[in-house]
Chains A and B, each alone.
Chain A
Amino acid sequence: MIFTIAGRELRSLFLSPLAWAILAVVQFILAYLFLSQIDAYLAVQPRLAAIEGAPGVADLIIAPLFADAAILLLLITPLISMRVLSEERRNRTLSLLFSAPVSMTEVILGKYLGLLAFFLILLLLLALMPLSLLAGTDLDLGKLAAGLLGLMLLLAAFSAIGLFMSALTEQPTIAAISTFGLLLLLWIIDWAGSSGNQASGLFAYLSMLRHYEALLKGLFNSTDVLYYLLVTSLFLGLSIRRLDADRLQH
């Protein structure tokens, strides 16, 4: 049942030009960044060769690429997630799901999986770029895997937040704006943390950026993974509650 809903979600995404446009634009920008990253690497390569234990391709090309990709995805997640529930509400198609023998949990999980499947496709396309380096050089596959995992976890959290915002409103644009606002806030919240007062530890922990940076360095820390899983399940839970409340009071 969850997969039926997820399948339709993904299908509808690709039936609109939006998904294709986003895939194309993201791929284009990232390819440009990737190539300029390689250029920079080639410029410093002779000097690096002289240094013992110098940073490799994974540190100098892949890590910056993935860091940029995260910012880019922060910008586009709201565009993909905004219509997931708000459009159903606006077109009055939600009643089809409400009167079918499916629970709200299944609806939310189905929608969420649909979103995740889209981002998985995007991620696969992105992963092809660093993998192409394998043709010419050795690659630290462990670091690449950690980076991909980080990006996937990040996207999982982004989509859960986007889904929740979409569940709140009837207007896709409002969902997009509020998703963007919340994501950006969670991204930059540790700027306040660096001022060095009491709450800084908490702010730094809340920041999505901090947890992501660790994974980019190839550090697999269960705290970071747990952080993303917590954010994801929190917002999925809230979405289920919100959809349930639709039937209760207006």
Chain B
Amino acid sequence: MNEVNLSCPVPRPADDYILLAHGGGGKLTNQLIERIFLPAFACAPLEARHDGARLNVNGQRLAFTTDSYVVRPLVFPGGTIGDLAVNGTVNDLAMCGARPLYLSAGFILEEGLAMETLRTVVESMRAAAAKAGVQLVTGDTKVVDKGKGDGIFINTAGIGVIEAGTEISPAAVRAGDSVIVSGDLGAHGVAILSVREGLEFEAPVESDTAPLWEPVNALFEAGIAVHCLRDLTRGGLSSALNEIASAARVGMEISERSVPVREAVRGACEILGLDPLYVANEGRFVAFVAEQDAGRAIEVLRRFAICKDAARIGAVTATPAGMVTLESRIGGRRVLDMLSGEQLPRIC
């Protein structure tokens, strides 16, 4: 008889210190928000838990958002940390239904950073801001000791004007709504991995970083009943869907077959054992629209190059609340859970 020797570690204290995973955009990040930040800063706009705050200032509806960028490497196929800093904040505003107007930028530079690198990043921000139709109107610079920063950290904040008539938020999501993704997934994450040490490969994949206001505005102008928008960033499609399902207390049924992923992204994910549904994007969003408008919404989106693969990937259901289920390619079903930490390459 084989001796069964049960071994089990002492439970790890989850709350004692910050882990890398707290920045992953998944469960631990949300825990940090729920347990530390929300209780301290409790107020209505914050409690809406949307990407940006919606404010009313003397009758003018504004959206206000902020984001920080700590990506490594600073320069990757298809962009730089600067592109992400501009587009990320522009997109958070767009997801509130707001036309992005002004950005601020705070730079934390590491001592010893090559001036050439800074120039490259700043030039990419200039170009990205021009493309997005926003102005960078105020900024700040700090320098930290060598070793205390990853080259460059950038924080951007943005202000936009809410033009859309309807409230765009998880609360507006209804059972029966169609779930639409604006384009193919995972390109940004793969582009980053392709140059990260230890995981290098040659891949014709560039980051998908892009400003999203134009296609979003096109949906409004076409009179599409848009209930909610969320741009896909860390944690990929899965995180966005789970956050909204949870905030809106609805269920979702997604068809894996209908999720667009380009072949090179799939190849990279296969080698590393990653699931494209969890890989980061920087120029893609998911839209929850009234079922009858789904077809038209996709037509409108596909007019834009960055949305050429827009597709309906599923539907919202009344129950089970907060749960996203996936129908696999072979017709089996599983729960698409939120990531609980960074997705790591695996051999297993």
- Indicate, yes or no, whether A interacts with B: no
- Using a CB–CB cutoff of 8 Å, the interface residues on chain B facing chain A are none
